[in-house]
Structure 1
């Protein structure tokens, strides 16, 4: 007699589960490697490994929460997998941006790269433009102001 038992059915496919495991292992390695970097010379400053550690830990938590939510979702809509042209276009876009970067500088290249990448992903012009501006603001605040690493 099974009174009060709860059955949980996980809805992750094997490729999805493998992708989550690969991402979690990669982020775990990134956390470990950030501990291998030297500490800051000045107490109170961020060391070279602090920012990668914070980003990796935050992303690791998000990946685990996302995996749990996806696994417990009862009915997931099937995702179309015919986006290989978009993937190839995104990779080509990245190669072009990397080739132009030494000549044009980080801010114009990132602005155009993020705008184009968002458009390739299906975002509207306004959303892509806002994402590009916010990304540039983040780079400026995080690197130029907070870490005092000039990015131009």
Structure 2
């Protein structure tokens, strides 16, 4: 997904569109890095390993906290909402991200706290990415010294 956004951004005509796409890519990359670092720091096992009565429906590997899928979904929803979409589109993106989080608990591969950790990590890294890209793309102010 991030690669597709980068390719599209180079083909994009306007600097504003390029800034928007860089925001999405930066937010997703930062959230992926943060989620991976947290997973390897916390080392929380998945619910189906802890409780044998939970029959998970799909493969789940590695550590549980935070939920990587939820982290990426909220990072994508947040960056798109901040960069592109209007209020109605943003609401649908949030609904979609919430459904991703609920599905992770339903499938038995995450605890609810893993999903909340993914939500906060994804939103936090998306906002950080938004601020970094917008700081970099600030308009340059030229001061007139009054001299020719």
**Structure with more contact order per residue of length (Cα contacts < 8 Å, sep ≥ 6):** 2
Instruction: Give the TM-score, by structure 1 length.
Output: 0.32
Q: Which has the larger radius of gyration?
A: 1
Instruction: Give the TM-score, by structure 2 length.
Output: 0.32
